[in-house]
């Protein structure tokens, strides 16, 4: 089911530069930078703050994510000759050629960043990052930093909400790659949902790059590709005790199927032979990792019966099946029914391993349906796989982080808008977190403007 993780970060300055080059920004950043440069203001010290205006998903918090990528981006921020030549072609013809020489020598050596730690619980309108440096440079960074923080923080926060709905013990599998907004969106989702509380991912590349444990089972296509037991090959399996004499698993499984049908009062004529063949074929390939999807036809009339027969065959040969996956229907009811059958088989056939079989539910799980599942199937070992509602953040597609100028040349700057909620608080801020008497639960975060001479001592005192 699951593969072990690797102890590797997978993110390097080079890999971030390939994903987020300095041209991954909006054109108006360059037009403003040129105007600053032309006016001789490009070296003026300036401070921007990155924050969001409202907590996502109608909730009371967010998780800050994306800082590591931001820092790697700043370290690698340089314009190549090819970048500069492209900018020559898109900026107005009257642009002074000396500006392009200025860009070619630009880096972020003069930029400083103050930030809350990655993964921290944060709240609306509290600065997540403060970016200070030469005015033209820190202006050029805006779009890229927002791109790196917005989705990472949003999907990380969404994952945390799923984790809260599931409770601390239920295992969660992220499986949204096929539903994600492109390859980079899929990798970002896998990485930051793991930070947000998910245990596993189906994304193999994310496992390779970030060391996240990967897991998977089978698709319905594997089940429906089989028609009869004649397609099972090989038709034998060696016992786990090392006995070299292979056993005819088809005959053994047919015997177990008859006994399961008799125990459960099932109708053998409703059982799909092709499904049984698929399960047997998979079990022969993975006798220690057998976890099939059992709702390709009918869970109660076919899938569960076929699984039990094959799983009992594996147990008789000393192997240990893992469990089943449910991908349609009422997951709460089916999970309880499947667990009841497992316990019945365990008791009737004296197979203790059936008590520890897991159930994986993967039917378009949302935060609400996960909370309902967690409430109704307490005590049932159900692992949950989540895709679409997790990685696409269905309830809210954007966090809405902004990057606002708060100081130039030591003087506070403020945006006064026609929309009051878009107005900004001028000046650099120090952030305090007020907690309860036990020091465990955050009550509120406060940000207030301080003089530059006070800022360092204030931050050192936190």
Please report the pLDDT score of residue 421 as a whole number: 83
In order of start, what are the domains of the chain with their CATH numbers?
10-159+399-460 (3.20.140.10), 164-391 (3.20.20.70)
How far apart are the C-alpha atoms of 321 and 287, rounded to whole Å? Answer: 7
- 133 contact partners, CB below 8 Å, separation of at least 6: 45, 46, 108, 110, 111, 112
Angle at the Cα of 460 (from 426 to 399), degrees rounded to 5?
Answer: 45
Please report the pLDDT score of residue 167 as a whole number: 94
- Mean pLDDT, rounded, for 364-370: 96
HEC string for 310-323: HHHHHHHCCCCCCE
Contact 175, 201 (CB under 8 A): yes
Please report the pLDDT score of residue 420 as a whole number: 83
Please report the pLDDT score of residue 456 as a whole number: 52
If residue 69 lies in a helix (H) or strand (E), which one and from where to where? Answer: helix 67-75
Query: Could you count the other beta carbons within 10 Å of the beta carbon of residue 359?
Result: 23
Contacts 24+ apart (CB under 8 A), 55-58: 55/123, 55/124, 56/154, 56/157, 56/158, 56/393, 56/396, 56/399, 57/157, 57/158, 57/161, 57/367, 57/393, 57/395, 57/396, 58/395, 58/396
Residue 418: pLDDT band (50, 70, 90) is confident
Please report the pLDDT score of residue 333 as a whole number: 96
Contact 365, 117 (CB under 8 A): no
DSSP 8-state code for residue 293: B
Please report the pLDDT score of residue 4 as a whole number: 42
How far apart are the C-alpha atoms of 206 and 10, rounded to whole Å? Answer: 9
Please report the pLDDT score of residue 244 as a whole number: 86
- Mean pLDDT, rounded, for 335-359: 97
- Mean pLDDT, rounded, for 198-202: 98
- Mean pLDDT, rounded, for 343-354: 97
- 439 contact partners, CB below 8 Å, separation of at least 6: none
pLDDT digits (tens, 9 = 90+) for 110-157: 999 999 999 999 999 999 999 999 999 999 999 999 999 999 999 999
pTM of the shown model? 0.92
* Percent share of the chain, pLDDT over 70: 92
* Percent share of the chain, pLDDT over 90: 84
């Amino acid at each position: 089911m699951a593969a072990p993780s690797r102890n590797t970060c997978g993110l390097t300055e080079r890999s971030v530069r390939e994903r987020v080059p300095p041209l991954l920004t909006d054109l108006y950043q360059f037009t403003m930078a040129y105007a600053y440069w032309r006016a001789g203001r490009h070296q003026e010290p300036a401070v921007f703050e990155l924050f969001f205006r409202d907590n996502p998903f109608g909730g009371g918090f967010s998780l800050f994510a994306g800082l590591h990528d931001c820092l790697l981006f700043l370290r690698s921020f340089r314009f190549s000759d090819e970048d500069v030549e492209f900018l020559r072609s898109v900026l107005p013809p009257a642009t002074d050629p000396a500006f392009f020489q200025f860009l070619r020598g630009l880096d972020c050596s003069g930029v400083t960043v103050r930030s809350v730690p990655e993964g921290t619980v944060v709240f609306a309108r509290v600065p997540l990052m403060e970016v200070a440096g030469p005015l033209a440079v820190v202006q050029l960074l805006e779009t890229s930093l927002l791109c790196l923080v917005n989705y990472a923080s949003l999907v990380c926060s969404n994952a945390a909400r799923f984790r809260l709905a599931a409770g601390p013990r239920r295992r969660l599998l992220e499986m949204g790659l096929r539903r994600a907004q492109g390859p980079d969106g899929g990798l970002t989702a896998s990485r930051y949902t793991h930070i947000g509380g998910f245990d596993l991912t189906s994304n193999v590349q994310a496992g390779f790059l970030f060391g996240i444990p990967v897991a998977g089972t089978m698709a319905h296509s594997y089940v429906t590709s089989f028609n009869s037991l004649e397609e099972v090959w090989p038709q034998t399996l060696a016992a786990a005790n090392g006995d070299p004499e292979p056993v005819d698993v088809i005959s053994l499984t047919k015997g177990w199927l008859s006994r399961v049908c008799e125990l459960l009062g099932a109708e053998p004529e409703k059982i799909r032979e092709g499904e049984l063949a698929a399960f047997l074929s998979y079990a022969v390939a993975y006798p220690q990792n057998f976890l099939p999807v059992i709702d390709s036809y009918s869970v109660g009339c076919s899938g569960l019966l076929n699984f039990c027969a094959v799983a009992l065959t594996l147990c008789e040969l000393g192997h240990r099946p893992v469990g089943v996956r449910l991908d349609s229907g009422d997951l709460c009811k089916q999970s309880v029914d499947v667990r009841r059958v497992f316990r019945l088989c365990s008791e009737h056939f004296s197979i203790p391993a059936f008590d520890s079989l897991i159930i994986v539910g993967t039917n378009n799980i949302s935060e609400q349906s996960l909370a309902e599942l967690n409430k109704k199937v307490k005590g049932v070992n159900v692992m949950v796989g989540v895709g679409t509602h997790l990685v696409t953040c269905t309830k809210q597609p954007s966090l809405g982080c902004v990057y606002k100028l708060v100081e130039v040349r030591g003087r506070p700057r403020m945006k006064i808008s026609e929309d009051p909620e878009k107005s900004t608080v001028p000046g650099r801020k120090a952030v305090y977190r007020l907690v309860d008497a036990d020091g465990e639960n955050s009550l509120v975060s406060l940000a207030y403007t301080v003089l530059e001479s006070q800022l360092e001592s204030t931050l050192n005192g936190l």
